[in-house]
Structure 1
Amino acid sequence: MDFKSSYGTVLAFFVPSSMSKIIASLLLFTAAFCLRRILKVQDNEPPQGTNLHYSRKSRFIPSAIKPIAKDSGFHELEFYKSLFFKLQNVEYHSEVLPLARQGILFLLSEALRDYTKRESHSSIISMVNFNKEELSQFLQNHQKNVTDKYEKYIAKRNAGGFRQLVRDRQDAESWLRKIAPLKLVDGAWLGHLNKITIPFSFRPIMKKTWQVFTEELGDGNLLQHHVHIFENLLRVFEPELPSATTEEILHPRLNFNSIKYWRAAAAQLMISAFSADFFPEILGFNMHFEMLQLDTMQAAKELPEVGLDPYYFILHISIDNSHSGHAAMSMDCVVDYVQKILDLEGEKAAHTAWRRIQAGYVLSEWLGSEGIQTADIRYKLDSSPCDQLESRICEIFRAKAQAAQGIHTGCKAKIGGRSLDDWLSLRSLQDEDWQPNFLRALAASTPWVYPGESKKSRLVKECCWGGKMFGAFTREEVSTLQQWIDSLEPRRNLFYFDFVGLSEDIHCRDCSRSNILSQKTSGSLNSTDLTDEITPLLHHPQLSSTWPKLSASDLDLPLLLPLWFSQCSLLESFVYAPGRTADPMGCAVVRLLRAQLGFEIEHTVITGIDESHTGNDNGIVGIGLEMIKRASLLAPADLSMLLVCWPSEFAEKMLRLSSKPLQNLGVLLGIFAALLELQGIIAEAPNVGLLSPESYVHLQVLFRRQCHYLQECKQYVSTDEWLLVDYSYGYAMAKTETAKCVKLNRG
């Protein structure tokens, strides 16, 4: 008898004839519903409304422990969580940077390889050549596709259909915890973009793009800060929610256990950490991420239905709009960038720039897709150079050979024409030439080693459970073997480089050139520096002197200009982790940086694309470039060239200190205060002739705004004795240097 059609017969046997038809009908309905749920289990579907994962062995495994059930998945999750924490505290974990750079190249390659296999005409990579109108139409089609799906969704809901994103409040909590890692770093892909070290000609594009980031941070208004708003939503379920920048955010008790969203969050932090290297990729990433998404619209509809505040999602529907919001601004930045490259470097370079923008767009889209398989990433990446790996492998084999003397005598396996016992003789392994020969032979011996594919290699399989060498190698030793085998893959990120039309050597050389200045100036001060230097500085006679009335001849521009430009570095790195700006101090720094860049005064309504249409760099850097022009000096291309023209040890010291903003916060604020005084002296001396009358008025406005925001920062500093000491030291040190810029102060 067919099981699905038999429940009526079964009920007829159990229901007495005297029972009312109504009760019988209710029992029949209840039994039918239960049987349907049982049948769903037989079809390997979990019962609707449960938070369980069904296995074919008829066991229910809580979804919270699913990643642990697959060892590779669990370790991949921990890998991304580690990157998430370390990249938000990178000045304490600089060792993670080589791994992070490999990681973003790996993810770019995986995304591009996946998308090129799809042969889809709806993908951005189908646009071989850049065309503004074609790009605009492509983005409009994307939005129409999303809104069409939303209209169908609303039609189903109006017809009595169920919610599709969350079933109930408990399900909403699970979903919000799932997406939390990504939302807690909202905007992070742009966190490192605002750097004084980028070429001056690209600063207007940087500023327009970074405006998206500052609006994600509420323009320095805590109530409008996106991460702060999402944190408040999470606190409905998790009242003691830790900051996203702390290690506590990684704790399993929070049930943030989705690899997809940890991967996406870590990817944003990885690409941001190398903003100079991946500027066009970040523009493409930004263009996709700021587009309208279906789940955002569904969340805005469904969360209030289960008693939750939907404003975080409503905000992203409105602020990301394609007319005047982030979607429109992001496309404009892409257009401006390609045109700038075309003007400066020609068509070939512009085409490469477009391919790199596409790569960033594809990465963002791919990270949001379901079913991504990158569990091998831990074995594909290695923070150790190849020569170090080979040395470690040789040490392992030498140690094992001593313990395994005579064991391999009967082994018939041949490696490069020699027996294993011959290769592993103690005398042979002491020969420095023998060791690399053995590794080369082993690397070329399939199936023992498949270069670049450790999981496929028999050598690794034999070291794992069920293999003949299980227990002979420790877990760390097997991991080293895997890393070595994966490192044998020639040019592991070849797909990305082939797609964008660059060789890996050229890309790495360009990246190294862009990072020379930051490498020269990385470091921090220690307590000895402070105690040794602060006392004489605080009593320096120049600090108590009043500034005289200035004329153009009184200012020493070769000393002034390096300080003028380098002052923009002081706090720019403090905000790269969005969670660190979700408090009053962080918001004050955001507003201070906005003033430095020349953004309009903050308002309860954002300016959106209206402000980005200004085009020029009207901040502190733009004013500095005007000084150079009016003094008839040759304008350098970037800060690095400026410091070649006008060397300054103190400017380089400022850059060095600013690379570690958490450790040096008090010192940086003190230096900023002294340089701000110099800004004020110049702003109040319009007859000096360094600037146009309009620029003097503009500088006066910027000066007053910065003073106001600095006072807010000082309120925070005043609560910490050590910060106050650091602040005094930074101020005294910088005051001495700024006094040198005025010739009248030289005695």
Structure 2
Amino acid sequence: MDFKLNYEIVLTFLVPSSISRTIASLLLFTAVFCLRRIWKAQESQSPRGTHLYSPPKSRFIPSAAKPIAKDSGFQELEFYKSLFFKLQNVEYHPEVSPIARQGILFLLSEALREYTKRESHSSIISMVTFNKEDLSQFLQNHQKSVTDKYAKYIAERHAGGPRQLVRDRQDAESWLRKIAPLKLVDGAWLGHLNKITIPFALRPVMKKTWQVFTEELGDGNLLQHHVHIFENLLRVFEPELPSPTTEEILHPRLNFNSIKYWRAATAQLMISAFSEDFFPEILGFNMHFEMLQLDTMQAAKELPEVGLDPYYFILHISIDNSHSGHAAMSMECVVDYVQKVLEMEGEKAAHTAWRRIQAGYILSEWLGSEGIHTADIRHKLDSLPCDQLESSPCNQLDTRICEIFRAKAQAAQGIHTACKAKIGGRSLDDWLSLTSLQDENWQPNFLQALAASKPWVYPGESKKSRLVKECCWGGKMFGAFTREEVSTLQQWIDSLEPRRNLFYFDFVGLSKEINCRDCSRLNILSRTAPGLLKSTGLTDEITPLLHHPQLSSTWPKLSASDLDLPLLLPLWFSQCSLLESFVYAPGRTSGLMGCAVVRLLRAQLGFEIEHTVITGIDESHTGNDNGIVGMGLEMIKRASLPIPTDLSMLLDRWPSDFAEEMLRLSSKPLQNFGVLLGIFAALLEIQGIIAEAPSAGLLSPESYVLLQVLFRRQCHYLQECKQYVSTDERLLVDYSRGYAMAKTETAKWVKVNVQK
């Protein structure tokens, strides 16, 4: 039915017979014309994307381009939010690990690629070789640049100028919501750094760097905990703020909608998750992130002007200072690390270490800059080099592309006969022959020819490739491929970058496989006999095991002959793994129990007793590993045994199924918390026995005194944790099982009866 017939029907039903049909026609056309003008005027004033339908301006340039871009931004935002949650609960979401690894390699490459294009002497990249004095001067210049800008800002404010960071209270609340994802994981880039599996030679550097993390966590003092302080600030206008470790923190109602800050927060969690592989990059990231920033100083001044507490920002101006604070400590860690690598591996390795430190520094700086465009990261991840990642997405992509074309060939037979386009000298009909596509040799030839056929495919540039454009709205193949198939096609094209190599590897001068070295922890876990926990035959009956271990003169006196060191040492070192992973998400420690675990770990590492005033760089100058690991190494040395380089070598020399089981259990600290705490309690008793047995000659007199202090501190913090456990019946059962397991093991290497 055409328009004329429709129009006649309208006139028949709506126009009275007494009115001239000609006049009626004129009136109806006038009304339609006016309505169309009104509709178009409203459309031009409305935000794009609010109408159900908007006719395309051109057949080849879809008007939906901008809404698609918005949708892409939304998908990127959701991508980072999902990683943010899963990386803080990684033991429940192990599938996120390979994605996170690819993601941090991609972000490192993007940051380095952009910065190496700049002709600027202000970038750390300009320091081709490492020099302590040059680095110190570079960092001083950065601080002077920030303070000069702040002085100019203050002068403008004193002259009557307006606030520059926030306009009013509402704008301040909006800004705080914007930065919230990053501040709610404050310190997360260091969360996984404290690992018993890192080489023993690097532990002094690790300890000094991890001190920055513990101070971010208030050294276990809730009132000084940075995330807790920021949460309290947000709760002034968001009283129902959920924990940053829960999925509720992702809810749109909170209006945490800045991709920049979700990306930056997630990047911290990603790089931290692979702390052993990216140790130097984390040191560089730490050095930049702990420097003085202009917006921090502006916030400290402007927030009280609009009625909000500025203490979170005041705290970071003071604690990050370049004399004795985090900025100074971070630089010292970098210097110590490069010098250690130089001593151990030589100049070439030290230069590579410096390049990797630069890479981490640039990543932090880049994440904080404006105008980053990585909306295609979700597609880029699956296109990263196969030989540089734990997974092999490239071969999978090739297979999926072949499957798609084979499926389409059935429906496309004969359709491309008139097409003049040639792919590798063959027509499309030849390539898409059903018989040919079944040939396994034909498939790679087809993909190779397609990859080299510009303008259909521009390797690494799916948006520029005509093949993708033709599959989208306005293209000749729109509708022939589903959205998922087009997405796969884009991923495949983006994977075709020259050399299939990440810029990061070129920059730092690593071969493709070095950065994917085997992690000591993974090596250990792969040897662990599964099910050891169940094989003990322990029942779930709650036993009275929640006593508070303390030094007692009733324990027997030990001598060196009373201990079996080959059985003791694996457990002595592995006990440090039990709770180390519980604190990797800062938001999980912003409670009383989490703070107790932080203090317990500080005691294990030999940090000084917590005080209302932080020790800062004074403590990091000690340089000695005076914690539990350091004492274990002292035992080995005094027994004239060969010193292992790391825990993996130690367990190769002195195998222990129970030590490996402890490592396996500690990889899931949330699920196994009760068991881990029970094991820790039993092994802590042995620390107490050894601390009271200087005649055994295992340690120096000074170390015995120190061990007694560390033992008492750990007992105190353990008691705080057990108060939490006592409120949960399941945790009580788990605690009892863990305690009984460990007591069974310790009986094997203490040759006398140490039970009370």
TM bucket (normalised to shorter chain) is 0.7 to 0.9
Residues 1:364 and 2:364 are matched in the alignment = yes
* Secondary structure in 2 matching 1:70: helix
Opposite residue 654 of structure 1, the aligned amino acid is M
2:82 aligned partner: 82
CA distance in structure 1 between the aligned counterparts of 2:68 and 2:475, rounded to whole angstroms: 23
For residues 401-420 of structure 1, what are the structure 2 equivalents within 5 Å? 401-420=409-428
C-alpha RMSD over aligned residues: 2.4
* Secondary structure in 1 matching 2:731: helix
CA contact 1:143–1:292 (8 Å) conserved in 2? yes
Residues 1:429 and 2:437 are matched in the alignment = yes
Match of 2:720 among 698, 703, 712: 712
Residues 1:534 and 2:542 are matched in the alignment = no
Report the CA distance shift for 1:655/1:237 in structure 2 as closer, same or farther (over 3 A): same
Q: 1:113-157 CA deviation, whole Å, 9 max, x = no partner?
A: 111111111111111111111111111111111111111111111
For residues 369-384 of structure 1, what are the structure 2 equivalents within 5 Å? 369-382=369-382
Q: 1:638-669 CA deviation, whole Å, 9 max, x = no partner?
A: 00000011000100000011011111111111
Aligned-residue offset at 1:454: 1.6
- Segments of 5+ residues of structure 2 without an aligned counterpart are 1-41, 50-65, 383-390
CA distance in structure 2 between the aligned counterparts of 1:432 and 1:123, rounded to whole angstroms: 50
Aligned-residue offset at 1:539: 12
CA contact 1:524–1:660 (8 Å) conserved in 2? no
For residues 105-116 of structure 1, what are the structure 2 equivalents within 5 Å? 105-116=105-116
For residues 314-713 of structure 1, what are the structure 2 equivalents within 5 Å? 314-382=314-382, 385-508=393-516, 511-512=517-518, 514=520, 516-517=522-523, 519-520=525-526, 529=534, 532-534=537-539, 548-713=556-721
CA distance in structure 1 between the aligned counterparts of 2:230 and 2:531, rounded to whole angstroms: 36
* Secondary structure in 1 matching 2:95: helix
1:167 aligned partner: 167
* Secondary structure in 1 matching 2:180: helix
CA distance in structure 2 between the aligned counterparts of 1:241 and 1:536, rounded to whole angstroms: 39
CA distance in structure 2 between the aligned counterparts of 1:490 and 1:389, rounded to whole angstroms: 17
Q: 1:11-60 CA deviation, whole Å, 9 max, x = no partner?
A: xxxxxxxxxxxxxxxxxxxxxxxxxxxxxxxxxxxxxxxxxxxx996556
CA distance in structure 2 between the aligned counterparts of 1:490 and 1:101, rounded to whole angstroms: 21
Q: 1:271-296 CA deviation, whole Å, 9 max, x = no partner?
A: 11111111111111100100000000
CA distance in structure 2 between the aligned counterparts of 1:645 and 1:523, rounded to whole angstroms: 17
Report the CA distance shift for 1:652/1:708 in structure 2 as closer, same or farther (over 3 A): same
CA contact 2:80–2:262 (8 Å) conserved in 1? yes
* Secondary structure in 1 matching 2:722: helix
Aligned-residue offset at 1:405: 2.4
CA distance in structure 2 between the aligned counterparts of 1:134 and 1:523, rounded to whole angstroms: 51
CA distance in structure 2 between the aligned counterparts of 1:531 and 1:561, rounded to whole angstroms: 22
Q: 1:312-354 CA deviation, whole Å, 9 max, x = no partner?
A: 0000000000110000000100111111111111111111111
1:129 aligned partner: 129
Aligned-residue offset at 1:548: 3.7
Report the CA distance shift for 1:89/1:565 in structure 2 as closer, same or farther (over 3 A): same
Report the CA distance shift for 1:68/1:483 in structure 2 as closer, same or farther (over 3 A): closer
- Segments of 5+ residues of structure 1 without an aligned counterpart are 1-54
* Secondary structure in 2 matching 1:656: helix
Q: Which moved more, 1:318-327 or 1:245-254?
A: 245-254
Report the CA distance shift for 1:167/1:539 in structure 2 as closer, same or farther (over 3 A): closer
Aligned-residue offset at 1:695: 0.7
Q: Which moved more, 1:552-561 or 1:720-729?
A: 720-729
CA distance in structure 2 between the aligned counterparts of 1:522 and 1:294, rounded to whole angstroms: 49
Q: How many percent of aligned residue pairs carry the same amino acid?
A: 86
CA distance in structure 2 between the aligned counterparts of 1:187 and 1:269, rounded to whole angstroms: 9
CA contact 1:521–1:655 (8 Å) conserved in 2? no
Opposite residue 92 of structure 2, the aligned amino acid is Y
CA distance in structure 1 between the aligned counterparts of 2:122 and 2:405, rounded to whole angstroms: 52
Q: 1:448-486 CA deviation, whole Å, 9 max, x = no partner?
A: 222222222222111111111111111111111122222
Q: 1:155-175 CA deviation, whole Å, 9 max, x = no partner?
A: 111111100000000000110
CA contact 1:109–1:493 (8 Å) conserved in 2? no
Q: 1:698-732 CA deviation, whole Å, 9 max, x = no partner?
A: 00110111011111111111111111111111111
Aligned-residue offset at 1:436: 2.1
CA distance in structure 1 between the aligned counterparts of 2:537 and 2:641, rounded to whole angstroms: 39
Report the CA distance shift for 1:56/1:323 in structure 2 as closer, same or farther (over 3 A): farther
* Secondary structure in 1 matching 2:719: helix
For residues 23-42 of structure 1, what are the structure 2 equivalents within 5 Å? none
* Secondary structure in 2 matching 1:79: helix
Report the CA distance shift for 1:352/1:733 in structure 2 as closer, same or farther (over 3 A): same
* Secondary structure in 1 matching 2:518: helix
Opposite residue 315 of structure 2, the aligned amino acid is L
2:288 aligned partner: 288
CA distance in structure 2 between the aligned counterparts of 1:585 and 1:727, rounded to whole angstroms: 15
Aligned-residue offset at 1:67: 9.5
CA distance in structure 1 between the aligned counterparts of 2:753 and 2:580, rounded to whole angstroms: 31
Aligned-residue offset at 1:694: 1.0
Opposite residue 731 of structure 2, the aligned amino acid is L
CA contact 1:537–1:733 (8 Å) conserved in 2? no
Report the CA distance shift for 1:642/1:276 in structure 2 as closer, same or farther (over 3 A): same
* Secondary structure in 2 matching 1:118: coil
CA distance in structure 2 between the aligned counterparts of 1:68 and 1:485, rounded to whole angstroms: 19
Opposite residue 698 of structure 2, the aligned amino acid is L
CA contact 1:566–1:655 (8 Å) conserved in 2? yes
Q: 1:199-250 CA deviation, whole Å, 9 max, x = no partner?
A: 1011000000000000000000111000010011111111111111111111
